[in-house]
Amino acid sequence: MTQKISAAIVGYGNLGKSVEKLIAKQPDMELYGIFSRRDSLETDAAVYPVAEAAEHKDKVDLLFLCLGSATDIPEQAASFAENFTTVDTYDNHHLIPAHREKMDAAAKAGGTVAMISTGWDPGMFSINRTIGEALFPNAQQNTFWGPGLSQGHSDAVRRVEGVKAGVQYTLPKEEALQAAKEGRGDEITGANAHRRRVVAVADEADQERIRQEIVSMPDYFEPYETTVEFVSQEVFDREHQGMPHGGHVITSGDLGGTHSSVEFTLELERNPDFTAASQLAYGRAAVRMAREGRTGAVTVLEVAPYLLSTASLDELVARDI
């Protein structure tokens, strides 16, 4: 029987809680504990001071970095990679090359594997963009996000004075989706392919001012088509507490006189649960690569699919090829 993977978690927000929940469902993993700055957490798992994490490195095969991309991962991830095989969900797309370089140096110094930028975008979408583009000599490719709740945009809404509660949903436009499928996506941009729906709670006297502040907010809402709906706190609490998300990667092109398209779609009831599922699968691959002697940073584009599965390669070949 293959030795179980001893896994630990750093960070216990939405993602960390989802990772904990899903580790319990893996036949090849067991939770060693959670490293935290807090003395106690609402969990039955062992909790250890994050400052003392390195003292546990000989007992942990895999460390899930469930930390924020804004500051936590850039500031902390490399120090963890020096002592542990890690897997993160870093999602600042244009900074991923720099993150990769930093994690590669740290992991090679520590003799570990640092699996970076797992999740769905980057992650699942990255793989499908690469496969789709490879199929067509002159590929037309478009990525759509949603329908789903954007945590960053929701935070921007809540920072507007007078907003008591608020969320923002990103919604792809059907006409843009259809244009992409038909190979007419060359003029599609993020702004003309999506609309933004804001749902907020505020006093009636403040609503028009709040609406104008939101729709004119640069980068976040302007120049997008944005609607702002005001609801009662009761309705907000009942209907807007979930964290759905998803999206599409659509690639199309001409294949010697015929047109084809490839579409990858995600529909997620709860974003952190799916992100955690991807993180676990790539964590499994990271451990397998580490046990084979690989060191350094690894992206999702470099991982053979069979390494993600709990099944053996022979089983997968017999079943799926």
Extract the annotated binding site for NADP(+).
12-15, 36-38, 66-69, 89-91, 118-122
Q: How many CA atoms lie within 13 A of 299 on its CB side?
A: 17
Instruction: Identify whether the C-beta of residue 115 lies closer than 8 Å to the C-beta of residue 282.
Output: yes
Positions at the binding site: 12-15, 36-38, 66-69, 89-91, 118-122, 145, 170, 196, 245, 271
Question: Rounded to whole angstroms, how far apart are CA atoms 88 and 96?
Answer: 12
Between CA 256 and CA 314 the distance in angstroms is 36
Helix (H) or strand (E) holding 65: strand 62-65
Give CA angle at 298 (244, 295), nearest 5°. Answer: 140
- Which residues make up each annotated binding site for substrate? 145, 170, 196, 245, 271
Q: Which two tokens stand for residue 100?
A: 């990769």
Q: Who contacts 309 (Cβ-Cβ below 8 Å, separation ≥6)?
A: 281, 316
| Residues whose CB falls within 8 Å of the CB of residue 155, separated by 6 or more in sequence, listed in order | none
CA distance 14 to 212: 31
47, 41 Cβ separation under 8 angstroms: yes
Residues 156, 160, 164, CA angle at the centre, nearest 5°? 100
Q: How far apart are CA 206 and CA 208, in angstroms?
A: 6
Q: Which of 79, 12, 61, 15 is nearest to 276 (CA)?
A: 15
What 3-state class would DSSP assign to 115? strand
The two tokens of residue 303 are 């991982």
